[in-house]
């Protein structure tokens, strides 16, 4: 039986004793430190241990009971409530675009991963925020209204990466377990599953260097944590191979048409793009302007996205393992729902490797790993 001896109350705090105890037991239960069916101390015993009134303890147990965290059994005492039943379980996924891009790949693999877990009865409720902070925040309320038991979120790509902190705050306030997938949010500490963006940036750049390219363009995006790590990998690979970093070779996807003529004239011979869609935009520009790929311009993207693979030549890319990402994210989320795994946040980082195809001159698909 759990006792009150390990509970420290701050009697001079502006937070009431009732609220301190509710927060203590809620954290212990949600983290799994108090597993289901654990018997809590009696009202009399806890009041005696903590030197507080029995009425305060009763109110604490009533609050926890209304939240579904404990159950009170007549003549037996108060117990940690059983974990949420799987039979009618709903999990929410807030992605950014479910028709193309990273979120569509994740949605596909999340659905497959849940199908593999069909025996435990989870269902996926999906929302597409289209990179809108307002829609993203609104979907948190929508999913809560549907009584989801956990939420997976791929945060929006926005100019100010800290703008996503609002949705993280809303998720934390909801009390529902959640896991970030594919992207993290600057300034927050949450469960997450992401690709090693530094390694991806390093491997893509080093692969191009290995082919003899020295002036390598980096097509980036608004400075999210993922983009900043990718940029760091790009710069580190250049430095490790004794090549200078030229700021004029880094620009946004939206500036491809404006910037490509000048950088091509300056001797640039290759592009590392932050996504397959950005790489495909470069390929399209080259095709429209008579630049041969891969003869005059080699191109590497990121993602291995099915929707980004158009006609020949097929993109060389940094492969993201979306199925592994989906499996890990679901495993973490289900552990949180079932109050397992402890209170420490989990940050899973998945490796990245180069999938060589035809935009760098390879006639057959092959893999090239690289370790920074």
Is the Cβ–Cβ distance between 59 and 45 less than 8 Å? no
**Looking at residue 369, what is its pLDDT?**
44
Is it true that the peptide bond before 313 is cis, omega within 30 degrees of 0? yes
Fold designation for 17-80: Arc Repressor Mutant, subunit A (1.10.10)
**Looking at residue 67, what is its pLDDT?**
56
**Looking at residue 14, what is its pLDDT?**
46
Matching fold, domains 90-195+322-350 and 197-320+353-368 = yes
Is the Cβ–Cβ distance between 58 and 81 less than 8 Å? no
Laid out side by side, the sheet with 192-195 consists of 123-128, 90-95, 150-153, 178-181, 192-195, 347-350
Is the Cβ–Cβ distance between 131 and 158 less than 8 Å? yes
Walking along the chain (372 residues) 10 residues at a time, the average pLDDT comes out as 70 68 72 81 90 91 74 86 61 76 75 71 78 88 84 87 88 92 89 96 97 96 87 98 96 96 96 94 96 95 80 89 93 86 85 92 42 48
**Looking at residue 366, what is its pLDDT?**
37
The predicted-structure confidence for 303-357, as pLDDT tens digits, reads as follows: 988 766 777 788 999 999 999 999 999 999 998 988 766 678 899 999 999 999 9
Torsion region of 130: left, alpha or beta (phi above 0 gives left; psi -120 to 50 gives alpha): left
CA 370 – CA 296 distance, rounded (Å): 24
Is the Cβ–Cβ distance between 202 and 233 less than 8 Å? yes
- Note the Cα 208 to chain centre separation in Å: 28
CA 201 – CA 192 distance, rounded (Å): 20
Q: What is the pTM of this model?
A: 0.70
Residue whose pair of structure tokens reads 């009732």 in the numeric block? 18
Which among 22, 91, 1 is positioned nearest to 335, based on CA atoms? 91
Is the Cβ–Cβ distance between 166 and 322 less than 8 Å? no
**Looking at residue 28, what is its pLDDT?**
74
Please tell me the CATH superfamily of domain 197-320+353-368, with its number.
Answer: Response regulator (3.40.50.2300)
Could you give the angle at the alpha carbon of 124 between the alpha carbons of 121 and 130, nearest 5°? 175
Q: Where are the domains of the chain?
A: 17-80, 90-195+322-350, 197-320+353-368
- Of the options 3.40.50.2000, 1.10.10.60, 3.40.640.10, 3.40.50.2300, the CATH number for the domain spanning 90-195+322-350: 3.40.50.2300
Give kind and range of the element (H or E) at residue 252.
Answer: strand 250-252
- Note the Cα 194 to chain centre separation in Å: 6
- Report which DSSP code applies to 337: H
**Looking at residue 60, what is its pLDDT?**
87
């Amino acid at each position: 039986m759990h006792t009150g001896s390990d509970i420290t109350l701050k009697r001079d705090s502006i937070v009431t004793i009732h609220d301190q105890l509710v927060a203590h037991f809620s954290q212990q239960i949600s983290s799994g430190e108090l597993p289901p069916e654990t018997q809590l101390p009696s009202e009399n015993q806890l009041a005696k241990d903590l030197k507080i009134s029995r009425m305060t303890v009763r109110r604490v147990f009533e609050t926890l009971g209304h939240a579904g965290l404990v159950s009170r059994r007549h003549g037996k005492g108060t117990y940690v409530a059983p974990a949420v039943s799987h039979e009618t379980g709903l999990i929410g996924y807030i992605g950014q675009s479910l028709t193309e891009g990273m979120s569509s790949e994740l949605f596909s693999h999340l659905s497959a991963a849940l199908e593999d877990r069909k025996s435990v009865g989870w269902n996926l409720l999906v929302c597409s925020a289209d990179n809108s902070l307002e829609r993203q925040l609104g979907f948190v309320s929508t999913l809560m209204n549907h009584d989801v038991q956990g939420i997976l979120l791929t945060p929006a790509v926005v100019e100010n990466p800290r703008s996503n902190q609002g949705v993280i705050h809303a998720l934390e306030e909801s009390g529902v377990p959640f896991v970030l997938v594919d992207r993290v949010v600057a300034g927050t500490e949450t469960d997450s599953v992401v690709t090693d963006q530094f390694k991806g940036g390093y491997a893509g750049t080093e692969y191009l260097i290995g082919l003899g390219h020295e002036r390598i363009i980096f097509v980036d995006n608004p400075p999210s944590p993922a983009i900043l790590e990718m940029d760091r990998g790009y710069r580190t690979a250049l430095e490790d191979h004794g090549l200078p970093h030229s700021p004029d070779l880094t620009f946004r996807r939206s500036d491809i048409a404006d910037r490509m003529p000048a950088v091509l004239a300056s001797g640039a011979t290759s592009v590392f793009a932050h996504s397959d869609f950005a790489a495909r935009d470069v390929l399209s520009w080259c095709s429209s302007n008579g630049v041969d790929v891969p003869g005059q311009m080699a191109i590497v993207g990121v993602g291995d996205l099915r929707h980004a693979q158009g006609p020949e030549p097929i993109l060389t890319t940094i492969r993201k393992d979306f199925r592994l990402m989906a499996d890990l994210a679901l495993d973490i989320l289900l552990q949180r729902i079932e109050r397992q795994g402890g209170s420490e946040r989990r940050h899973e980082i998945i490796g990245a490797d180069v999938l060589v195809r035809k935009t760098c001159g390879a006639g057959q698909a092959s893999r090239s790993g690289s370790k920074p």
